[in-house]
Copies of this chain bind each other. A is one copy, B any other.
Amino acid sequence: GLMIDSVLLLEGAMSIEKLQRYREQMRTELDKVVDFWQKYSHDTQYGGFFTCIGKDGKIYDQLKYVWLQGRQVWMYCRLYRTMERFNKPEILEAAKSGGAFLRRFARIPNSGSPWKCAFCLTRDGKALKVQRTIFSECFYVMAMDELARVTGDKDMQVEAAQMMDQLVHWVRVDPSGLGKPQLSGDTPVCSMAVPMMLLCLVQQLTEARSGEEVDKYREVGGWCVKQILQHLQMTVLPLYCLPVVSFLSGFLISFIYTFAIGHALEAGWFLLQYGLENGDQELQRTAVDKFMEIPFLTGWDKEHGGLLYFLDVDGYCPTQLEWSMKLWWPHCEALIAYLMAYSHTKEPALLERFSQVYDYTFSHFSDAENGEWFGYLTQQGKVTLDFKGGPFKGFFHVPRCLYMCEKILDSILNKQET
A residues touching B (Cβ–Cβ < 8 Å)? Answer: 52, 54, 60-63, 108, 110-111, 118, 120-122, 126-130, 179-186, 252-256, 314, 316-319, 321-325, 376, 378-379, 384-387, 390-391
Contact = CB atoms under 8 A, between A and B. Distances in A.
9 contacts: A52-B256, A52-B319, A60-B316, A108-B183, A127-B184, A128-B183, A128-B186, A130-B180, A319-B385
Top-9 shortest CB links A-B: A126-B185, A128-B185, A127-B183, A321-B322, A126-B184, A60-B316, A122-B185, A319-B390, A61-B256
A256 B385 CA distance: 15
Contacts of A325: 321
Contacts of A179: 179, 181
Contacts of A252: 63, 120, 128-129, 391
A61 B391 CA distance: 30
Contacts of A391: 252, 319
A254 B122 CA distance: 9
A121 B387 CA distance: 37
A156 to B, nearest CB: 24
A391 B84 CA distance: 50
Given A128-B186, A185-B122, A316 B54 contact: yes
A68 to B, nearest CB: 13
Contacts of A60: 256, 314, 316
Name the residue among A63, A179, A183, A252 with the largest chain B CB count within 10 angstroms.
A183
Contacts of A126: 183-185
B61 A110 contact: no
A385 B308 CA distance: 14
Copies of this chain assembled into the complex: 2
Contacts of A253: 128-129
A386 B324 CA distance: 12
Contact of A110 (B130, B182, B185): B182
Given A61-B255, A255-B63, A185 B127 contact: yes
A252 B130 CA distance: 10
B254 A63 contact: yes
A236 B255 CA distance: 44
A384 B376 contact: no
B317 A387 contact: yes
B108 A181 contact: yes
B321 A376 contact: yes
A45 to B, nearest CB: 16
Contacts of A121: 185
A63 to B, nearest CB: 6
A129 to B, nearest CB: 6
A284 to B, nearest CB: 35
A181 B109 CA distance: 11
B129 A319 contact: no
A386 to B, nearest CB: 5
B130 A181 contact: yes
Nearest to A391: B319
Contacts of A54: 316-317
A336 B384 CA distance: 30
Contacts of A185: 121-122, 126-128
Nearest to A112: B181
Given A129-B253, A319-B390, 15 more contacts: A60-B256, A61-B256, A108-B181, A110-B181, A122-B185, A126-B185, A128-B254, A317-B386, A317-B387, A319-B387, A321-B321, A321-B322, A321-B325, A378-B378, A379-B384
Given A319-B52, A385-B317, A111 B181 contact: yes
